[in-house]
Structure 1
């Protein structure tokens, strides 16, 4: 009888069920910004420069600043990487190639630089730039300049197009 009572007690203990609740909560925040209209399609005027200024490979023109303005950053936006893309120069793949054509300059490429005038290699992500979502505008200054890719530069048209891609953190 004791054995039967034991089995009965064990059977009752295992048959009890408990219901529980798991509550999950959180917030989905935006971690991107809007590229200001003034930054979406820019022309950076590098000027008319004598081919003689580029006496040797690696010599360059004065850098010209341009700004990429990011607006309305989400509350979770903390950083952004910039990647400039385009056709790479055949002599130096880190430079942007000038557009080809019968009147195109030869022996010259376009160097993109960060605010510290350090080269930003084409088609490679930059170092991370900090974003402040409390600011109306987060402005980032970059530079472009001509740089000789050969010891002899031939005069002509020297223009190119680069696009930029943003990677948010």
Structure 2
């Protein structure tokens, strides 16, 4: 009977090693298809940058600015597009750092219903049929919600006076003479 168990043991061992010998090449061949070895690499990431003093503050005289467009004859506005003469105003900046590209001004306010690049008159106005146009120092339109061209600040200047223009424009709606009031907020950005 012990001979019987010995044969069974040897048969089982033989089957086990045959299975093992079949499985081992599969493991080895799968490592050949997929990298089984894990390797570590030292990786260096260089991060560079600079901190610059590239902003200005708005001068106190430009925080609450009033631009008076004058008294203009009503006949100027009887046709759409008729306008008053442009009136210059400045936005003054101070404590400017080393600005590489300059400063850009954007105006936000309520756009006119007919001429959406221009400002709408406030409800307190008694005039109607008029919108307010804003322009840069070259008298090019700066649309409401848009941005001006960059104003360069050169030579290490710490202050800047940015010139803009404003005028009244007939928007083609029913015209009514009277007082005009409109408000706009300006924001500075540094390209």
Check whether TM > 0.5: yes
Shift of 1:73: 1.0
Distance in 2, matches of 1:138 and 1:108, equals 32
Equivalent residue pairs, number: 147
- The structure with the greater share of residues assigned to helix is 2
Cα RMSD (Å) of the superposition? 2.2
Query: Among residues 141, 149, 160, which one is paired with 1:138 in the alignment?
Result: 160
TM-score of the pair, normalised by structure 1: 0.78
Residue 158 to residue 132, structure 1, CA distance change in 2 (3 Å): same
1:86 is the counterpart of 2:109: yes
1:117 is the counterpart of 2:117: no
1:58 corresponds to: 81
Distance in 2, matches of 1:118 and 1:76, equals 23
Where in structure 1 are there 5+ consecutive unaligned residues? 1-22
Structure (1 or 2) with the larger CA radius of gyration: 2
Residue 25 to residue 165, structure 1, CA distance change in 2 (3 Å): closer
Equivalent residues of 1:84, 1:122 under 8 A apart: yes
Cα deviation, 1:129-156, whole Å, max 9, x if unaligned, reads 2122611321110001100001652112
Equivalent residues of 2:97, 2:158 under 8 A apart: no
Equivalent residues of 2:86, 2:165 under 8 A apart: yes
1:15 corresponds to: none
TM-score of the pair, normalised by structure 2: 0.70
Residue 24 to residue 116, structure 1, CA distance change in 2 (3 Å): closer
Distance in 2, matches of 1:150 and 1:24, equals 57
Distance in 2, matches of 1:34 and 1:116, equals 23
Residue 49 to residue 26, structure 1, CA distance change in 2 (3 Å): closer
Shift of 1:39: 1.1
1:13 corresponds to: none
Q: Give the secondary-structure state (helix, strand or coil) at the position aligned to 2:112.
A: coil
Any residues of structure 2 matched to 1:127-166 within 5 Å, and which?
A: 127-132=149-154, 134-150=156-172, 152-166=174-188
Residue 154 to residue 60, structure 1, CA distance change in 2 (3 Å): same
